[in-house]
Amino acid sequence: MPDLRTPYYLIDETKLLKNLEIIKLIREKSGAKSVLALKCFSTWSVFDLMSQYMDGTTSSSLYEAKLGHEKFGKETHAYSVAYSQDEINEVAKFADKVIFNSISQLHSFYESVSNLKVGLRVNPGISYSHFDLADPARKFSRLGVCSQEELEAVSDQLSGIMFHFNCENDDIENITDAINQIGSKYSNVLKKLQWVSFGGGIYFTKDNYPVEKFCQVLKDFSETYGVQVYLEPGEAAITGCAELVTTVLDIVHNEIDIAIVDASIEAHMLDHLIYHTNPQISSHESGEHRIIVAGRTCLAGDLFGQYELDAPLKIGDKISFADAAGYTMVKKNWFNGVAMPSIAVKRLNGSVELARSFDYTDYLNCLS
């Protein structure tokens, strides 16, 4: 194992494989294909493994689509909330499917991509999310076409439609009911199409998730409407497979001990700050020693959280934070000029490789 200097993200391929095997099982039993949602995870140093179990990638921008095409291969689904003409011209060179967010974008750019499989995002008016910020069907949502009449009017131009309406949905009854509602509401359109995507946000790799029942729901839908079903797993594909490894640099006391590590919640695990959640510590057992773990930036609220650990922390201790892959590595930033975590991968054979490190030159070059 290389002598890795903290902070670094460590991806464990053995843990990743556990999720990928479930994705493979779903395809075998339901026929549903899975494309990786790059908005959640785009660390291409593990794409060689992931591409053996998944059917391609889906994107939210030109750059993501290009990355998926170049580094993952297989199917490239290109979606964006809004395209420019230049972006459409570029995407049209390599994408398999181009999915528009609105009727107006479809009208504006259809001729540029009519030789490809053209899709449209639809807002079915139902959703599952613990956070309003991430709710695709929230009030005044701009994500997808709401009008059933407008959808039917352009259906002859489409090969498929995409419904992305879930966030961390682990409720099999809810997703079953939602898929059945979609089938009933859009049956006239569905029977004209080649494919339908149910998007991401379905937590089918959670422990004890009823995968068999989920597969039957997908298979029944596919057979009823004669469509290829797609899933767009992001978090479900990579959950539990990565850690952010840090070192305690200092311990200060202000009514409670506060350990300061060489990383930052704002710069290196931003989603937790956005959603007011705390990452789990995977390197220590729980106990009676209460302590706050904080980042090293000047932001007063740069706090990983308050923890009760089995032993007091001391300067030089390593602390690992769990689930540092999804919506984490893609959002890392250079706030305060704090050193960017390296990226390391523990391969299936147990060897650990340093995939990428960052230095001052990287910081300098991201600015002007």
Measure the CA dihedral 324/81/69/158, to 10°: 130
In the block, tokens 């506060």 appear at 258
- Domains (ranges, CATH) in the chain? 14-238 (3.20.20.10), 241-365 (2.40.37.10)
Tell me if 89 sits within 8 A of 62, measured CB to CB.
Answer: no
CB neighbour list of residue 267: distance below 8 Å, 6 or more residues apart? 295, 297, 332, 333, 334, 335, 336, 338, 340
Which pTM value belongs to this model? Answer: 0.96
| Diameter over CA atoms, the chain | 66
d(CA 153, CA 149) in angstroms, rounded, equals: 6
User: Each residue's pLDDT tens digit in the chain (368 positions)?
Assistant: 668 999 999 999 999 999 999 999 999 999 999 999 999 999 999 999 999 999 999 999 999 999 999 999 999 999 999 999 999 999 999 999 999 999 999 999 999 999 999 999 999 999 999 999 999 999 999 999 999 999 999 999 999 999 999 999 999 999 999 999 999 999 999 999 999 999 999 999 999 999 999 999 999 999 999 999 999 999 999 999 999 999 999 999 999 999 999 999 999 999 999 999 999 999 999 999 999 999 999 999 999 999 999 999 999 999 999 999 999 999 999 999 999 999 999 999 999 999 999 999 999 999 99
